[in-house]
Amino acid sequence: MKCPVCKTDSLIVKAVSEPLAMSCCEDCDGKWLSSTHYWSWLETLEGELPKKVYSDVHLEVHDTPQAKLCPECGRILIRFRVGHGMDFRLDHCNACNGVWFDKNEWEMLESRNLHDEIHKIFTTQWQNEIRADEKNRYFNEMYVQKFGEDFMKIREFKLWLDNHELKQTILAFLSDPRPFE
Ligand SMILES: [Zn+2]
Ligand SMILES: [Zn+2]
């Protein structure tokens, strides 16, 4: 099979995470995961692996932005953002559902236990969550700039207030211009 990056017949099937087999390129260290291999590997797992928020593993990812062709069916691979603090994209074939991992992309996902949720990355829900996360981060940064060191205190108060059944009354009390005695 042809490597979508090197464009040579350099893909060799190897057991990457026993019993999961992938077609690996020895030149660029990329990996091709066919949909059949992925789903039969998922069936060997007992339930979803617990997601890890942080990982100590810091590998250099070589995300290759160029357009790539599916080594299985020749269609153009579509790039999808991974999110969750990982700044790279996966190349997915919408026709045969195979996935291309550039060097260390699979390893990074594995270190966060996201490698059993690969199929979800290509869904609208996953992609929308990335956008919502980004928006939250943007607003957090904006408020940090505005409120400085008081931000954490205000944030904690807001979280408490948002869940309070008397929220509206508390807000009215807070915005009452008369000084409180
Ligand atoms: Zn290659
Ligand atoms: Zn394909």
Does some domain include residue 42?
yes
> Ligand 2 centroid to 34 CA: how many Å?
8
Task: Find the 148 Cα to ligand 1 centroid distance in Å.
Answer: 48
The residues, ordered by sequence, that sit 6+ positions from 85 with a Cβ below 8 Å of its Cβ are none
- Same domain assignment for residues 117 and 151: no
As a whole number of angstroms, the distance between CA 55 and CA 163 comes to: 31
Q: What pLDDT score was predicted for residue 19?
A: 84
- The number of folded domains in the chain is 2
Ligand whose nearest atom lies closest to the CA of 28:
1
pLDDT of residue 53: 80
Ligand that comes closest to the CA of residue 70: 2
Instruction: Please tell me whether residues 145 and 114 are part of one structural domain.
Output: no
Q: Which ligand is nearest to the CA of 93?
A: 2
Per-residue pLDDT of the chain (181 residues; tens, 9 = 90+): 999 999 999 999 998 877 899 999 999 999 999 999 999 999 998 888 888 888 888 888 888 888 999 999 999 999 999 998 899 999 999 999 999 999 999 999 999 999 999 999 999 999 999 999 999 989 999 999 999 999 999 999 999 999 999 999 999 999 999 887 7
Could you write out the DSSP letters of every residue in 30-66?
A: -EEE-HHHHHHHHHHSSSPPPP-S--S---------S
Same domain, residue pair 34 and 103: yes
Closest ligand (CA of 62): 1
Residue 78 lies in a domain: yes
Same domain, 31 and 62: yes
**pTM of this prediction?**
0.80
**Dihedral over alpha carbons 132, 137, 141, 142 (to 10 degrees):** 0
Question: Are 117 and 144 in a shared domain?
Answer: no
pLDDT of residue 57: 82
Q: Is residue 106 part of a domain?
A: yes
Quick one: pLDDT at residue 46?
83
* Residues 29, 102 within the same domain: yes
pLDDT of residue 7: 93
Distance CA 86, CA 167 (A): 37
If you measure from the C-alpha of residue 52 to the centroid of ligand 1, how many angstroms do you get, rounded to a whole number?
A: 29
Residues 156 and 109 in one domain: no
pLDDT for the residue 54: 80
Domain range holding 103?
11-122
Cα–ligand 2 centroid distance for 35 (angstroms): 9
Q: Are 121 and 110 in contact (CB under 8 A)?
A: no
- Which bound ligand lies closest to the C-alpha atom of 96? 2
pLDDT of residue 95: 97
**Within this chain, do residues 29 and 107 fall inside the same structural domain, yes or no?**
yes
- What distance in angstroms lies between residue 163's CA and the mean position of ligand 2's atoms? 47
* DSSP 8-state class, residue 180: P
